[in-house]
Amino acid sequence: MQRILSPIKEFIKDSRAIGIVLLTTTLLSIAIANSNGYNAVVHILHQPICLFKQLHLPESLGAWINDFLMGFYFLLVGLEIKRAFIIGELRSRKAAVAPIVAAIGGMLAPALIYYFITQQTIYTQGWGIPMATDIAFSLGVLSLLSKRIPISVKIFLMALAIIDDLGGILVIALFYSQTITYAFLLLSMVLLFILWKWQGYLKPLFNILLSFAIWYCIHRAGIHGTIAGILVAWCLPLSSAAYIEHKLHDFTSFIILPLFVFANTLLPIPSIASFLSFNTMQLGIIYGLTIGKPVGILLFLALGILFGWCQLPNGANWKHLLIVGIIAGIGFTISLFISQLAFTTIVDQQAAIIAILVSFCISLMSTFLAYQFVKRRSK
């Protein structure tokens, strides 16, 4: 039995494992979407449940995956952000400035490209989609190249992706939330204060129940419930962060994220075939992720160095950072998530998913070509 479980455990610990699982899940989802089981799966995912509606809870299984289960993913992201700023890669100003400057450029440039392409159309609200960087996929791809890429570059990409996720979370909270119900918002703030102030004196079970109550209040307030994961993470002590991350990491990475990807990449072949005639929204996403990301990251980093605000990571050069900029264009999970919030019709959501998948393929091919360039120049 141990001989069977050991390779599985090693695979799970591999930084490339999550990316492989998510890619496999995507292919499985598309295969099912083009089989006789498509209608049955869609019915299971999106069939409303009256009891949930009466309790003002997510009304279907798909909504529970997007609105509740993804909160655990954002909880882990929040803990990672907190750890990075307090004791990790971003704890010092000198170390933090470079990825912060690069991340700002990597968010602004794609959003502006998308806006200029889609202005005066019905798609302008999707500007947040190309701003994202998928931590799991980006680090997984960079791990494949790690023999020739300095460890400082990997740390730089991780820090950039963390800040990018923080920016994405703020965008979701500020621009992709519904009409605010201030009574529930105030109640959630009171509960967050209790968790922050007295969590050390409360039993773990009460902390868990309090966290669920915070999620419910934020959900009822009209703010996307996943934001609760970030807020709860910042209220928890750093001493318990490692324990929580250890307990939730595999569950989140190998169950929740694959469920989310599966539920949100069900694309029938006729929709995929339409990629030859991209609309302005799809072009905005593709150009934003594949061009805006690397250009924004490199341009802002160059300006930061020019004005003396920061410096390149130790042992890194511009060829390495070109690869980082291209890899950062892999938005995938967070881009999929924002696309579900930005557009309400299935047609628009599927069109956005197609663009995200096309961008993903372009980023992978561009990364491979850039890596070959660096490899040859190194020789």
**pLDDT for the residue numbered 273:** 55
List pLDDT tens digits, range 239-291.
777 788 888 888 888 899 999 999 988 888 765 555 567 899 999 999 999 99
Say what the pLDDT of residue 126 is: 93
The whole-number average pLDDT for the span 306-311 is 88
Average pLDDT over residues 33-44: 91
Query: Which of these, 149, 87, 144, 103, lies nearest to 298 by C-alpha position?
Result: 103
Most confident of 190-199, 284-293, 304-313: 284-293
Comparing 6-20, 86-100, 282-296, the range with the smallest average pLDDT is 6-20
User: Which residue type is seen at 53?
Assistant: K
More confident residue, 167 or 280: 280
Using 50, 70 and 90 to split pLDDT, how confident is the model at 123? very high
Per-residue burial over 28-61, b if 16 or more Cβ lie within 10 Å, else e, is: ebbebbbeeeeeebbeebeeeeeeeeeeebbbbb
Q: What's the pLDDT score for residue 276?
A: 61
The first and second tokens of residue 293, run together, are: 């990301």
Q: Give the confidence band of 64 by pLDDT, cuts at 50, 70, 90.
A: very high
Lowest mean pLDDT among 147-156, 176-185, 189-198: 147-156
In this prediction, residue 6 carries a pLDDT of 42
Q: What is the pTM of this model?
A: 0.83
Domains and CATH numbers, the chain: 48-71+93-177+269-378 (1.20.1530.10)
